[in-house]
Amino acid sequence: MNDITRPEAPAEALVLDGELTIVQAAAVRDQLLEWLPQADGRLDLSGVSACDSAGIQLLLALARSLRESGRALQILQPSTAVVESLQRYGLDALRA
């Protein structure tokens, strides 16, 4: 199960808790697409308990969509699961 907490104020980041895996990919993608139009790009991943290649693909697609509209993805407080997945795929720069 995933929880996405939308920012209540512009200064707050979107918070994603739960799994960022193939099992949850479609649901998370749909929620991220709803968030995208007003997103400033800050995504708090401190509560992500699992992250696989599907989760990384979602993050890459989100980063690309934000970049195309002149914004940048900022991963805040990535959990150990996220850090390990980013490292596994050589994407440490994504969390910078």
Please enumerate in sequence order all residues whose Cβ is within 8 A of that of 24, keeping only pairs 6 or more positions apart, or say none: 1, 2, 18
Distance (Å) of CA 75 to CA 42, 94: 6, 8
The model's pLDDT over 50-86, given as tens digits with 9 standing for 90+, comes to 999 999 999 999 999 999 999 999 999 999 999 999 9
Amino acid at position 58, single letter: L
Binning pLDDT at 50, 70 and 90, where does residue 96 land?
low
Looking at the structure of the chain, the number of domains it has is: 1
Q: What is the CATH number of the domain that holds 29?
A: 3.30.750.24
- Predicted TM-score (pTM) of this structure: 0.85
Print the domain residue range for 65. 3-95
First to last CA, the chain: 27
User: What pLDDT sits at residue 44?
Assistant: 95
